[in-house]
Amino acid sequence: MGVKQKPTQSTSINGLSQVLDKDREREKRRRAAETNVGKEFQTIDFNSMDISILRKYARVHKIKVKSKTNKEELAAAVSRHFANQTVKELDTITCFLYTAHYKDSVLRLPLQTGF
């Protein structure tokens, strides 16, 4: 029979360092994936939009801005509001599927928006 060698401290340290290296690599890949999450979406340039559109957005979403606000300030306020909106994914997908299924008929369910 072969003689089993007792594990030395150096072999256990090497094994531990390999595990730690794998953990570091896994964490690095996870962080890289998180930073790429928002990059596949296009950003909206609110400064290129007409001021009437920005005013209507502010009115519909009840953004508190002065009535005589210039276009740059209004675009900044609308952009901040738009960036802070959260999407209710389940409701959005459900509404999309319902709309796609009943596209030729009248909408039967009332849409409830979270404004």
Alpha carbon 111 to its chain's center: 23
Residue type, 96: F
Q: What is the mean pLDDT of residues 56-65?
A: 94
- pTM here is 0.49
Q: Which residues contact 65 (CB under 8 A, 6 or more apart)?
A: 58, 73, 74, 77
Whether 63 shows a pLDDT value over 80: the answer reads: yes
- Count of beta carbons in the 10 Å neighbourhood of residue 79: 16
Q: What is the mean pLDDT of residues 62-89?
A: 91
- pLDDT at position 2 is 56
